[in-house]
A and B are shown apart, each in its own frame.
Chain A
């Protein structure tokens, strides 16, 4: 079985990729990350073995682009956590769009945002989430669990 046309991949998965990035990097950076993700995916696409799980592969690229965006943000003036310590790179909760619908997710570290989204919105099994986040299944499970607990606490 050969690779589907790239457009077919976009038709099927562009929406959920963009939502994933909205969840992980927030509304201000999602479009840029989406563009970077799709360009990287298109560049590498012909080398992808036929029969690959194109969707999981694309989510992995998106996750890496989100981490890059986090690092770029980390190089800009650094917000300081409440206790006065510098927040860790790439794990800086964004202050943007506090009033928006994204605010509850913004309170989580990016990895938890990713795990929660893939688990709850896309309903992927932990094994798949782990592949996308490039961590152990146990770590993926914990990220989703901690993220959901935190969201639950915030809701009450």
Chain B
């Protein structure tokens, strides 16, 4: 072999060579699917305690839900209809930790509870929540909201009064509107004092669905 002239541009248009290198990094003649290796890694990483946020997608009658948890509990639950998965994950990476991993097996327990709830077989959630995405005022609102029983409702004003801010019904509404963990922290159970529904983070039709489910008046489609 002649001594290489190192300034000579590489002849990488050589298609046979490119093909040879490509073929060397394929498996069984097909493009390599890293999926199984990535899943094994995710299992190992969470077993070793290296993951700060795990997440999974859970199907529900209200569309796909993204559920995310830290070692302290569920930190985020979001309706995925708007296709905003990337922005939700980016937000978790920025505000909680960038060590965010898709690890559905880690959330099987939470998934089953949600499925049972939507199936009318469960009247409460036996899961820890991590309110680190809520500010101090919102956390108090959410703590109070979590005590409203299945099938019951409170008004924005009642929640405000219970946390010692009689006139803060509007601020309570805002805090509930940005509830990071809807369904599990049942902000759908807070309605207006005049009998109106108020707003809902997932849209009013979802609030109506959840309230009807809990009243037992839901016209249930096969699910």
Contacts and interface: CB of A to CB of B under 8 A. Distances in A.
Which of B1, B10, B33, B92 lies at the interface centre, i.e. has the most chain A CB atoms within 10 A of its CB? B10
Given A39-B45, A105-B21, A138-B6, A18 B32 contact: yes
B57 to A, nearest CB: 12
Interface string A1-12: 011111110100
**Dominant SS among interface residues on chain B:** mixed
Given A121-B21, A148-B17, A2 B37 contact: no
Q: How large is the interface on A (under 10, 10 to 19, 20 to 34, 35 or more residues)?
A: 35 or more
A46 B50 contact: no
**Dominant SS among interface residues on chain A:** helix
B193 interface: no
B115 to A, nearest CB: 23
Which of B41, B44, B48 lies at the interface centre, i.e. has the most chain A CB atoms within 10 A of its CB? B41
B14 interface: yes
A121 B25 contact: yes
B16 interface: yes
B38 A14 contact: yes
Interface in A98-156: 101-102, 104-105, 116-117, 119-121, 123, 138, 141-142, 144-146, 148-153, 155
B86 to A, nearest CB: 7
Given A5-B89, A7-B101, A35-B40, A42 B12 contact: no
B6 A6 contact: no
B93 A5 contact: yes
B136 interface: no
A6 B41 contact: no
Given A4-B98, A7-B102, A18-B34, A120 B12 contact: yes
A31 interface: yes
Given A7-B89, A22-B24, A45-B98, 11 more contacts: A6-B93, A6-B99, A27-B27, A38-B38, A39-B44, A101-B24, A101-B26, A104-B20, A120-B12, A148-B10, A148-B17
Interface of B: 1, 4, 6, 8, 10-12, 14, 16-18, 20-27, 32-34, 37-38, 40-41, 44-45, 48, 50-51, 53, 55, 86, 89-90, 92-94, 97-102
25 contacts: A6-B98, A6-B99, A6-B100, A6-B101, A8-B89, A15-B34, A18-B32, A23-B24, A38-B38, A39-B44, A42-B50, A43-B50, A46-B98, A101-B23, A104-B20, A105-B21, A105-B24, A141-B10, A142-B6, A145-B6, A148-B10, A148-B14, A149-B1, A151-B17, A155-B20
